[in-house]
Amino acid sequence: SSELAIQHLKENLISKTNNIILLGQSIGCVVATEMAGLGYGSSLILISPFTSIKHMAYQLFPKILVNSLLTLFPSFLKFKMNNLEKFQAKKGILANSQVCIIHGDRDEIVPYAHGKQLHKVLPSSLFYTIKGAGHNTILSHPEVLQRIQNCVITTT
């Protein structure tokens, strides 16, 4: 459905795909990164991204519990939700366009290290640390809007 929405924008509202800036926050980063990997958009802005849902599960629960669930219910993580894998593949706009990663250093849900790891895999990306920002408070920091604006200006 995300791909259909972008196709609608492209065909009916915007003349070129490169006029679309993809933005995702937290789990929404999966959709934005997927669309970027398929070549949609001109740039990608990720706020509080995680490397993969499996890595998140390992962060939140004992590894033995996660592995047991995956063994008993293999479809539990049917959709990998793996941003790291997409970054490593460097397909679509991830290969040659602007990528901005914004992460709060006090994120209590998605570890700050996940955002840093994505940046490390794609060193051409811009990485912005929002000091004191938690997962659910990051958008209330005025600096975030400034960083998003910087990313947009850089790509247009």
Write out the chain's pLDDT in tens, 156 residues: 677 777 766 676 665 545 788 999 999 999 999 888 888 888 899 999 999 988 888 888 888 988 888 888 777 666 678 999 988 888 877 777 789 999 999 999 999 999 999 999 998 899 999 999 999 999 999 999 999 998 887 755
Backbone angles phi, psi at 37, to 5 degrees: -65, -25
DSSP state of 130: E
Alpha helices in the chain (DSSP H): 2-8, 28-37, 53-60, 63-72, 83-89, 112-121, 142-155
Q: Are 151 and 101 in contact (CB under 8 A)?
A: no
For residue 58, count CB atoms less than 10 angstroms from its CB and return exposed for 0-12, middle for 13-18, buried for 19 or more. middle
Backbone angles phi, psi at 91, to 5 degrees: -100, 165
Q: Quote the pLDDT of residue 126.
A: 93
Q: Quote the pLDDT of residue 1.
A: 64
